Structure 1
């Protein structure tokens, strides 16, 4: 093709058609420029297509992560609700009786044994870690969505470092040791043990025991409030992600 254009230019010069030569040369330059612009446009189109495809992959993976977080948090909230209910039942039980039947003691021990567990939420970070490691946060073109996502993980990290760790400290240093009341611990270690009925009305006068129950209840309810806030934020992000995916 180059030889063909060169031959045409040479013939024009040989025939003394200088003006036609220059017009042809200008036309050839214009064609070359147009070709370069088309090539650049195709290259940009391919690059944008790759970016769009990568964004779709990230959004789908983020959707899976947020869906998993919501399911995890809802499960944590359900477990915490049982804990709060157990605490209310324990307080009602020990404040309403002076003596306990063996059934009462086993119920008390069983419910108390459920209070030693801990709820701890760490969001699924597989996709966000990939995005941060590859410095490809710009692939998420929707600025509102991008800001919400990064704010979600920053907030979850603050909760993890502050509330969650504080609750763990209280659980290990105050709640668990205090709730292991000798009478209850004996039952908790062997729920089905047959022992003589114990007078545990002393529990209602045990301020440390009651404070531990209250502390556990308050901490658990605070957790649930924060968990439900996170669920709401995750659901808001999911709505936007679904809209973005449907527009692709």
Structure 2
């Protein structure tokens, strides 16, 4: 192709036809520019295709992480946080009831009321995205939601739960007052700590402890429930984007 154009230029120069030569030169320049534009367009198309492929891949990984965390948090809510509230309510009823419930029921309520949680989350996929560039996510709303979720909601929620669990040092002292210890011989000797069910109505230490456990329940609930909702919303946004 280059030889073909060179031959045309040489023939025009030999003919000394300046008008035709200039027209040809302009045409050649136009063809070169068109070729460059086409090459740039193809390159941009390839880059966009690679970027879209990366966005789809990383969003699928983030979605998987969020789904696993969501399942864990829903399990924490249903199996630990809500039973904790129920245990507190039932134990208070036990304490104020004229008919005393069986010791095993009272202790079951106490164990539920004493339940704690460990809040964790996986941010590996998000950190991979952040290292390459958050601007790879073309959906502005989704990008901003991911940033808030991983940079604010999750770390703040984890810190709130940790602070509440560590702040109530009085909780440990009260538990020591309401529990009875006994040595039990199984395969080996061990210490069993159970709620002392005697004189429940007059056990002010137990009421103070339940008040603290109620605060812990409410803190855990107000952290987990919004995170569950936000996780579901983000998953829906990811599905719409990919």
Unaligned runs of 5+ in 2: 185-190
Confirm or deny that 1:225 pairs with 2:226: no
Which has the larger displacement, 42-51 or 77-86? 77-86
Confirm or deny that 1:175 pairs with 2:171. yes
Q: Counterpart of 2:214 in 1: which secondary structure?
A: helix
Candidates 116, 136, 156, aligned match of 1:118: 116
Whole-angstrom CA distance in 1 between matches of 2:103 and 2:171: 20
- Unpaired runs of 5+ residues, structure 1, are none
Tell me: CA distance 1:190–1:158, structure 2 relative to 1, closer, same or farther (3 Å): closer
Pick from 134, 138, 150 the counterpart of residue 135 of structure 2. Answer: 138
Compared CA separation, residues 185 and 174, structure 1 to 2 (3 A)? farther
Q: Which residue of 2 aligns with 1:90?
A: 91
CA distance in 2, matches of 1:141, 1:179: 53
- Please tell me whether the aligned partners of residues 175 and 212 of structure 1 are also in contact (alpha carbons under 8 angstroms): yes
Measure, in 2, the Cα distance between the counterparts of 1:231 and 1:199: 37
1:160 aligns with 2:158: yes
Aligned-pair distance for 1:190? 4.4
Contact residue 109 and residue 187 of structure 1 kept, 8 A: no
Residues 199 and 174 from structure 1, CA distance in 2 versus in 1: closer, same or farther, beyond 3 angstroms? closer
Distance 1:221 1:185, change over 3 A: farther
Post-superposition offset of 1:115: 4.7
Query: What aligned pairs does 1:35-114 form with structure 2 within 5 A after superposition?
Result: 35-78=35-78, 79-96=80-97, 104-114=102-112
Shift of 1:221: 2.6
Query: Does residue 149 of structure 1 match 2:146?
Result: yes
Q: Residue 77 of structure 2 contacts residue 221 of structure 2 at CA under 8 Å; is this kept in 1?
A: yes
RMSD: 2.6
Matched, 1:208 2:205: yes
Aligned equivalents of 2:18, 2:7: Cα separation in 1 = 15
Q: Distance in 2 between matches of 1:205 and 1:187?
A: 26
Name the CA distance, whole Å, in 2 between partners of 1:90 and 1:187. Answer: 25
* Bigger share in strand: 2
Count matched residues. 233
Separation in 1, partners of 2:97, 2:179: 18
Shift of 1:105: 3.0
Distance (whole Å) between structure 1 residues aligned to residue 25 and residue 197 of structure 2: 110
TM-score normalized with structure 1 length: 0.83
- Using structure 2 for the length normalisation, give the TM-score: 0.85
Q: Which has the higher contact order (CA 8 A, sep 6+)?
A: 1
**2:55 is paired with a residue of what secondary structure?**
helix
Structure-1 separation of matches of 2:75 and 2:182? 30
Q: Which has the higher helix share?
A: 1
